[in-house]
């Protein structure tokens, strides 16, 4: 096996292409975005990810990685396209279907076809395999069809693509082994072979586990707000128990995984997935909760200037997909009472539909700063600088990340400790 065709050059597909090229495969990456293709063929990228620019540049210069708008014949095909949800929270697998249909004319008997996109249970069996069958293939004998979900953390993708264990689920046992062989050349972690539906469900439950636990922490924060208790201290003490690991509350859950994947389970078993659905509802309620607290904190000011710090769903990345911070910004902008300034050093103007401000523009004359992402830049905010530049130095830290404390002219509220507002 020498050549791999990867469909989708986003936050997962591009690093995956770079890692396989670095391992010696001939890799052609396919995307519908002409700008992405043009830049990649120059050895350049638009994604912010540690170490990725250097690996991509080296792979392109070596001739092992190139980009194209159309698929090509290869020995293995990897599909890494988005799987968003519809307005009713049902899975939208249109991108996966489109990617499969595009590669069908280039697939030959004996090829390996791997879907890395996160998909609802039975998508390989009930959606992908029938496309190949309709094209004249026997999906259980002519090709090796498998699901190998990505399970990496933004900011550490290049490391975790190699070191993390990979789950490989095949339509048949033979397909699982053939797909596993593709990864064995690059992955140092364990290769865990299973059937496709189990791999699909395992990936969904990894993210659902975290979503449910974050919902528990967010509900705790709301309860502590009513009772006048510091939820952060409660979590710290409870986690001293050897079998307790409460997560941290925040402004909501974002990203293309945690905020989406649980719905794929709910869709398939709505009557049974009660806790999963309720957790989604709790986490989805947090942007409104944050806005309500902002209103409370500025109730005595006629036109408060509010600086919203951070748009990404987690710190030190540029990914704003499903970010609760975006929802909070939009809700604030809709309210004419507020003078809203938005600042994020990791986000580009073309990524959002509203203007971005520099640090100076956002802070100067502000009555309130709301920290919505745990970027390193926000962890290093200087108390004296904020106190000097703001009109009324109040900080609302929804990520509990700044380390700022009330005093020296500054008032600090945290998402799980709103006792000063009581």
Q: What angle do CA 297, 315, 201 make, to 5 degrees?
A: 110
Q: What is the DSSP letter of 415?
A: T
268 and 160 in a common domain = no
pLDDT classification of 422: cutoffs 50, 70, 90: low
Residue 219 maps to a domain: no
Is residue 14 very low, low, confident or very high in pLDDT (cuts 50, 70, 90)? very high
Neighbours of 244 (CB within 10 A): 10
Does residue 203 have an active-site annotation? yes
- Tell me whether residue 403 is in a domain: yes
How many domains, in total, are found in the chain? 2
Q: Give the chain's mean pLDDT.
A: 96
Q: How many other C-beta atoms can be found within 10 angstroms of the C-beta atom of residue 330?
A: 14
Q: Is residue 199 part of a domain?
A: no
The rounded distance, in Å, linking the Cα atoms of 311 and 219 is: 23
On whether residue 337 sits in a domain, the answer given is: yes
Of the candidates 203, 222, 314, 399, the residue annotated as catalytic is 203
pLDDT tens readout for residues 315-338: 999 999 999 999 999 999 999 999
Encode 300-313: b = buried (16+ Cβ within 10 Å), e = exposed. ebeebbbbbbbbbb
Q: Establish whether 102 is a catalytic residue.
A: no
Q: Which residues contact 258 (CB under 8 A, 6 or more apart)?
A: 207, 210, 211, 214
Contact predicate 162/19, CB 8 Å: yes
Give the pLDDT score at 77.
Answer: 98
Q: For residues 251 and 177, what is the distance between their CA atoms, to the nearest angstrom? A: 42
Does 132 share its domain with 273?
Answer: no
Q: Which of 355, 303, 297, 350 minimizes the C-alpha distance to 329?
A: 355
25 and 148 part of one domain: yes
What's the pTM?
A: 0.91
User: How many Cβ atoms sit within 10 Å of the Cβ of residue 242?
Assistant: 6
Domain of residue 115, residue span: 3-189
Give the residues across from 417 on adjacent strands: 414
Active-site residue among 257, 314, 399, 401?
257
166 and 35 part of one domain: yes
């Amino acid at each position: 096996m020498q050549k791999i065709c990867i469909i989708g050059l986003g936050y997962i597909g591009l690093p995956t292409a770079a890692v396989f090229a670095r391992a010696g495969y001939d890799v052609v990456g396919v995307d519908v975005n002409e700008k992405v293709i043009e830049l990649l063929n120059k050895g350049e990228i638009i994604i912010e990810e540690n170490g990725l620019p250097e690996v991509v540049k080296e792979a392109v210069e070596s001739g092992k990685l190139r980009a194209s708008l159309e698929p090509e014949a290869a020995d293995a095909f990897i599909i890494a396209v988005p799987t968003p949800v519809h307005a009713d929270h049902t899975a939208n697998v249109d991108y996966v279907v489109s990617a499969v249909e595009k590669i069908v004319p280039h697939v030959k008997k004996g090829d390996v076809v791997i879907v890395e996109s996160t998909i609802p249970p039975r998508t390989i069996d009930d959606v992908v395999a029938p496309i190949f069958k309709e094209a004249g293939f026997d999906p259980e004998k002519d090709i090796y069809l498998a699901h190998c979900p990505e399970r990496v953390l933004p900011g550490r993708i290049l490391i975790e693509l190699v070191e993390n264990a990979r789950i490989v689920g095949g339509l048949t046992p033979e397909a699982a082994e053939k797909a596993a062989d593709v990864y064995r050349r690059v992955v140092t972690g364990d290769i865990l072979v299973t059937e496709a539906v189990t791999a699909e469900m395992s990936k969904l439950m990894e993210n659902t586990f975290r979503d449910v636990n974050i919902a528990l922490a967010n509900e705790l924060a709301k309860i502590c707000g009513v009772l006048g208790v510091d939820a952060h201290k409660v979590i710290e003490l409870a986690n001293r128990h050897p079998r307790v690991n409460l997560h941290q509350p925040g402004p909501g859950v974002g990203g293309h995984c945690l905020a989406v994947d649980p719905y794929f389970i709910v869709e398939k078993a709505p009557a049974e997935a009660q806790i999963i659905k309720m957790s989604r509802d709790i986490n989805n309620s947090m942007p409104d909760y944050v806005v309500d607290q902002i209103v409370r904190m500025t109730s005595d000011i006629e036109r408060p200037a509010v600086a919203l710090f951070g748009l990404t769903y987690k710190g030190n990345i540029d990914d704003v997909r499903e970010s609760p911070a975006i929802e909070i910004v939009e809700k604030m902008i809709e309210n004419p009472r507020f003078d809203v300034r938005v600042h994020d050093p990791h986000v580009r103007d073309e990524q959002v539909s509203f203007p971005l401000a520099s640090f100076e523009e956002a802070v100067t004359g502000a009555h309130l700063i709301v920290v919505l992402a745990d970027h390193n830049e926000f962890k290093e905010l200087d108390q004296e600088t904020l106190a000097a530049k703001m009109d009324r130095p109040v900080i609302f830290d929804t990520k509990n990340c700044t380390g700022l404390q009330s005093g020296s002219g500054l008032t600090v509220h945290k998402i799980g400790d709103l006792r000063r507002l009581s």
